[in-house]
Amino acid sequence: MSRLQDLRPALPILIGASVMLSLAMGLRQSLGLFMPPLTRDTHIAVSDFTLAIAIQNLTWGLLQPLAGAWAVRLGMRRLMVGGALMYILGLVLLATTTGLGGVVLGAGVAIGAAMACNGSALTLAAVSRPVPVVMRSMVLGLVSAAGSLGAMVAAPFGQQLSQSFGWRIGVWGFVFLALLMLPAAWAAGKVDALPVPHQAGEGDSARAALRVALRNPLFVVMALTYFVCGMQLVFLTTHLPSYLDLCGLDPMLSAQALGMVGAFNVLGSLFFGWAGGRFNKLMLLGMIYCIRSLVLAWYFIGVATPASTLVFAAIMGFLWLGVVPLVSGWIADTFGLRWQAMLGGAAFVCHQLGSFVGALGGGLIFDMAGSYTLAWQIGVALGLAAGIVQTGFAWARGGGTRPPLAAAT
């Protein structure tokens, strides 16, 4: 009971951050629903649309460390509200596009820049500050779980509008949902009024903090294996609707699958938030990568049916954002809170390079081979390799056991 009372002053920040993250992630994860009708209407190739999604992920990744550093100097509220405005602009550009340029600028550059301000790195850095250390991992899991709820609303909402009135009206529906990010970002920005606990040795500049992190082998391996996480997940959110369309399945199944991902993502984020406070965080990461890869292989080897697709989506959903509280929690435990968003963003660059490959690579392979077989085989092989390396290195080095910062240098 006393722990719940400790969270009461932080509730406006936690709720605002949760709503903002939920909408930002849910809308972004559901953009693939518009790919089949949009590409037919605007006469662009599948690889053109996936190029825009790849640029979105690359923009997000490259700007994320900068956004984390700017948050220390400018405050989180300015960045979060500015990101929400940029997100709305990106969706408006997408809804009104007549060709590749509008898709790249809207779904690519604008939403990518917005995600650097409204995505998990800044959000989880914000909610780490007002909560007790003993509750941090669980709170990170709770907020990550809330970030999963957006897809449960956005995917069926956008698909229903698209089927009934056309894909442009579906995107305008997303604009309406994105407007709710503005008050949520304002509430989450109240964290700027709170002091940042100082941890000895964490560095007075972003450059010094990054130098400390890059000398820590556990951080380097965690960042490199993060590449596979981004590659697998963005491949699915971008190409699963197209794959199901190829299989001749009901287009609404894509929305149902993404909604299933969101629903089970809640359970997974809660579980891994809880588990991260009790077990080795980096070994849990390796376990997630291995299991994801095996599930991917099982689904794509078999014949896609509505039942197998929903089971696949449920399992992948449970493993989807469970990585986020583990990565953010390990960084906060190891390097402190001041530069948490920046260091999380530095690791996230690798994640987004993987996302770029997953989106664009999947599209290029499909355009050349006419199927996704080679794409998923590459994803499975790299995922298993990353999981084994992450687990083995964490076991050998004892990662996730909250080493003092001095040990990292």
Tell me which residues of the chain have a pLDDT lower than 70: 1-9, 196-204, 398-409
| C-alpha 344, offset from chain centre | 12
Q: Tell me how far apart the alpha carbons of residues 359 and 365 are, in angstroms, rounded to a whole number.
A: 10
Residue 329 resides in a domain: yes
**Predicted pLDDT at 212:** 83
Residue 32 resides in a domain: yes
CB 24 within 8 A of CB 119: yes
Compute CA distances 203 → 26, 129, 191, whole Å: 35, 18, 21
Q: How many structural domains compose the chain?
A: 1
> Each residue of 320-376: pLDDT tens digit?
878 888 888 888 888 877 777 788 878 888 888 888 888 778 878 888 888 888 988
Q: Tell me how far apart the alpha carbons of residues 26 and 12 are, in angstroms, rounded to a whole number.
A: 21
The residue type at 64: Q
Residue 191 resides in a domain: no
**Predicted pLDDT at 404:** 39
Residue 319 resides in a domain: yes
Residue 196 resides in a domain: no
CB 152 within 8 A of CB 261: no
Distance spanning both ends of the chain, measured CA to CA: 39
Nearest CA-CA partner of 209 in 340, 116, 381? 340
Q: Percent of the chain having pLDDT more than 70?
A: 92
Residue 283 resides in a domain: yes
Q: Tell me how far apart the alpha carbons of residues 392 and 369 are, in angstroms, rounded to a whole number.
A: 35
Residue 60: give its domain's CATH number.
Answer: 1.20.1250.20
Residue 171 resides in a domain: yes
**Predicted pLDDT at 199:** 54
Residue 109 DSSP class: I
CB 307 within 8 A of CB 380: no
Q: Tell me how far apart the alpha carbons of residues 396 and 174 are, in angstroms, rounded to a whole number.
A: 46
Q: Full-prediction pTM beyond 0.85? A: no
Structure tokens at 127: 């909610």
Residue 240 resides in a domain: yes
**Predicted pLDDT at 400:** 46
**Predicted pLDDT at 119:** 84
Parent domain of 283: 12-182+202-408
**Predicted pLDDT at 170:** 92
